[in-house]
Amino acid sequence: MGSKILNGLVYLSTILTFGALGFLVLYILFNGVQYLTPSLFEWTYTTQNVSMMPALITTLYVVLGTLFIATPIGVFTGFYLVDYANRDNKIVKAISMATDTLAGIPSIIYGLFGMLFFVIFLGLQFSLLAGILTVTIMTLPVIIRATEEALIATGMPIRQASYALGAGKLRTLFKVVLPMAMPGILSGVILATGKVIGETAALMFTLGTATLLPQSLLASGRTLSLHMFILSGEGHNVNEAYATAVVLLLFVLVINGLSTFISKRLSKGGK
Amino acid sequence: MVTQPKIKVEDLKLWYGDFRALHGVDLDINENEVTAFIGPSGCGKSTFIKTLNRMNDLIPYARVEGKVELDGQDIYSKKMDLNNLRKKVGMVFQQPNPFPKSIYDNIAYGPRTHGVKKKSELDEIVERSLRQAAIWDEVKDHLDRNALSISGGQQQRICIARALAVEPEVLLMDEPTSALDPISTAKIEELVSELKQEYTIVMVTHNMQQASRISDRTAFFLNGHIIETDQTRKIFTNPNQEETENYISGRFG
């Protein structure tokens, strides 16, 4: 009797989870696809035709810029924490605590910080650079944690095997440990990408909301999420907002698919 | 005739933080012999074997005092090149730990580390090492297969071949068969008896029959001390110390 109830609950929660996802996706597709016209992909944005093309390209700029800065810093911090620092060292504890805290801070706080520090104090104005730097700080913990976990998961025996053959630390790390940890690190990077794509609060006051395609690092722009937020907020372009949501959704699906594909490929290959 | 021992250990002490794991160990290890370390769990034999190629350097709170000499050279001196020491003193671990790479790349990793680049030279080293480890016939047709895809016993022989590929002088084996089935164990024991022609072998074992079958000398460890070292035959038939007698007759351990 008890197990039947439990079984029922398991099924119910499965249905609820999938139902919620399915409903959300279908709802957006239903409301959005019909407005997904070619004119929405024109190069320039006008008040008559709220093209999402500049926002689409700006999103790519922000993602690439962020990953360009955050990936090396995050990955090397992970290396340091796992393979160089002594685990009980005060600096390590401080970095770990900082990482956890950064991960838990609401993104609007990053937005506020970015505005006060990058936009005003450093005088970057609303710009690609200010936006990228702000979300870089935001995504660092994701990449650091993923790298740390991936490195730890490779384990001590494999390192010992390499050291025992007379290999030094760098060789051990780059030739043995890193190839094994790569899928984990990559999925962290992809997770960070997802986070950037979905971000609005941290970008609104740093990247700004300009409708043009930014021509330099110091120009303002808007990402797809921001674009959608503003369209739906203004009230008279709700249909286009739904169309933008469809594109965002596709983005996220592609990224998720890519991450699964890459980690499967890498962990199978492992040569 | 008294020859110089390959490895000479004098008054070696080791602490893990405040815990003292070795209390002044003295031991001579002779060239081209198999020296076995026996003793109950936690007696310090695995800790001790790791001091011979300084693997204990990897443990943050381990601290060593005393002297370990390899061919008369102090391996804990500042002048010692750690990577070169480990090239000379190879190690095989309790759990087979091949890299998740092809069999070929596993064996070639060590030589590549020490600067061998030529394909023909590497091919030769790989074949020779695999033959020495008595696994060539089993794997020669699929050297490109991932080393993790073969059986545990084969993996351990791959690890032995990998250690031999850098042409060590001493081979340390830390319970190399404790994770293996009896048939694989027999193969490795046979292998060890052959390898001692060319190498000096030091082996930790939990299995007293194994020690008596394949070693020339045996050291009995207890609570971080060596209680007795002697010819294996002597240790197992007529030990000098009562504790040794009690241990080998199975009264504790």
Residue A252 has pLDDT above 90, yes or no: no
Is B183 within a domain? yes
Tell me how many domains chain B contains. Answer: 1
Q: Are residues A46 and A31 in the same domain?
A: no
Dump the DSSP string for B52-65: TTTGGGGSTTEEEE
Which has more pLDDT, A55 or A256? A55
Q: Which of B86, B99, B102 sits opposite A166 (nearest CB)?
A: B86
The model's pLDDT over B34-83, given as tens digits with 9 standing for 90+, comes to: 999 999 988 999 999 999 999 999 888 899 999 999 999 999 998 999 99
Asked if A165's CB is within 8 angstroms of B113's CB, the reply is yes
User: What does DSSP assign to residue B250?
Assistant: T
pLDDT for residue A271: 40
Is B156 within a domain? no
Residue A62 has pLDDT above 70, yes or no: yes
Span of A19-23, A46-50, A122-126, B210-214 with lowest mean pLDDT: A46-50
Residues 6+ apart with CB under 8 A from A138: A102, A107, A110, A195, A199, A202
Residue A270 has pLDDT above 50, yes or no: no
Q: Are residues A13 and A76 in the same domain?
A: no
Q: Are residues A134 and A259 in the same domain?
A: yes
Chain B nearest-CA distance from A141, in A, is 26
Q: Cα–Cα distance between A250 and A97 in angstroms, integer?
A: 35
pLDDT for residue B61: 87
Interface check A161 vs B, CB under 8 A: yes
Q: Cα–Cα distance between B52 and B72 in angstroms, integer?
A: 13
Dihedrals phi, psi of B14, to nearest 5 degrees: -140, 135
Residue B184: domain span? 7-97+169-248
Asked if A166's CB is within 8 angstroms of B87's CB, the reply is yes
Burial class (CB in 10 A: 0-12, 13-18, 19+), B207: middle
Q: What residues of chain B lie within 8 A of the CB of A180, using their CB?
A: 100
Q: Which amino acid is at A5?
A: I
The model's pLDDT over B132-143, given as tens digits with 9 standing for 90+, comes to: 999 999 999 999
Q: Are residues A84 and A154 in the same domain?
A: yes
pLDDT for residue B253: 65
Q: What residues of chain B lie within 8 A of the CB of A156, using their CB?
A: 58
Q: Which amino acid is at B105?
A: D
The model's pLDDT over A133-178, given as tens digits with 9 standing for 90+, comes to: 999 999 999 999 999 999 999 999 999 999 999 999 999 999 999 9
pLDDT for residue A267: 65
Nearest CA in chain B to A160: B55
Asked if A175's CB is within 8 angstroms of B83's CB, the reply is no
Which has more pLDDT, A265 or A243? A243
Interface check A238 vs B, CB under 8 A: no
Name the pLDDT band for A235 (thresholds 50, 70, 90). confident
pLDDT (average), residues B200-226: 94
Is B137 within a domain? no
Residues 6+ apart with CB under 8 A from B117: none
| C-beta of residue B127 within 8 angstroms of C-beta of residue A205 | no
Q: Are residues A26 and A151 in the same domain?
A: no
Q: Are residues A163 and A45 in the same domain?
A: yes
Asked if A163's CB is within 8 angstroms of B100's CB, the reply is no
Q: Which two tokens stand for residue A123?
A: 């005088």
Q: Are residues A155 and A24 in the same domain?
A: no
Is B131 within a domain? no
Q: Which amino acid is at B253?
A: G
Asked if B163's CB is within 8 angstroms of A165's CB, the reply is yes
DSSP 3-state of A230: helix
Instruction: Tell me the count of A-B CB pairs closer than 8 A.
Output: 71
Asked if B113's CB is within 8 angstroms of A167's CB, the reply is yes
Q: Which two tokens stand for residue A217?
A: 């690092």
Residues 6+ apart with CB under 8 A from B209: none
Q: Are residues A26 and A47 in the same domain?
A: no
Interface check A158 vs B, CB under 8 A: yes
Is B53 within a domain? yes
Name the pLDDT band for A93 (thresholds 50, 70, 90). confident
Q: Cα–Cα distance between A172 and A170 in angstroms, integer?
A: 5
For chain B, which residues lie within 8 Å of any Cβ of chain A, measuring from their own Cβ? Answer: 53, 55, 58, 60, 83-87, 90-91, 93, 95, 97-102, 105, 109-110, 113-114, 146, 159, 162-163, 166
Beta bridge partners of B230: B218
Is B126 within a domain? no
Tell me how many domains chain A contains. Answer: 2
Strands B19-29 and B34-38 come out as unpaired
Q: What residues of chain B lie within 8 A of the CB of A175, using their CB?
A: 109
Is B68 within a domain? yes
List the Cα angle A131/A134/A135 in 5-degree steps.
90
Q: What residues of chain A lie within 8 A of the CB of B83, using their CB?
A: 166-168
> How confident is the prediction for chain A on average, in pLDDT?
90
CATH of the domain at B84: 3.40.50.300
pLDDT (average), residues A58-81: 94
The pLDDT > 90 percentage for chain A reads: 64
Q: Are residues A21 and A86 in the same domain?
A: no
| C-beta of residue A43 within 8 angstroms of C-beta of residue A111 | no
Q: Are residues A232 and A244 in the same domain?
A: yes
The pLDDT > 70 percentage for chain B reads: 99
Nearest CA in chain B to A171: B113
Residue A88 has pLDDT above 80, yes or no: no
Question: CA separation (Å) from B79 to A168, B31, B48, B73, B83?
Answer: 16, 24, 22, 10, 12
Residue B161 is inside which H or E element, if any? helix B152-164
Identify from A84, A165, A171 which residue to disrupt to test chain B contact, counting B C-beta atoms within 10 A and taking the largest count: A165
Q: Are residues A180 and A132 in the same domain?
A: yes
Q: Cα–Cα distance between A3 and A26 in angstroms, integer?
A: 34
Chain A nearest-CA distance from B246, in A, is 34
Q: Are residues A160 and A31 in the same domain?
A: no
Dihedrals phi, psi of B172, to nearest 5 degrees: -95, 135
Residue A260: domain span? 39-269
The model's pLDDT over B86-145, given as tens digits with 9 standing for 90+, comes to: 999 999 999 999 999 999 999 999 999 999 999 999 999 999 999 999 999 999 999 999
| Complex ipTM over 0.95 | no
Residue B166 has pLDDT above 60, yes or no: yes
| C-beta of residue B74 within 8 angstroms of C-beta of residue B55 | no
The model's pLDDT over A98-107, given as tens digits with 9 standing for 90+, comes to: 898 988 999 9
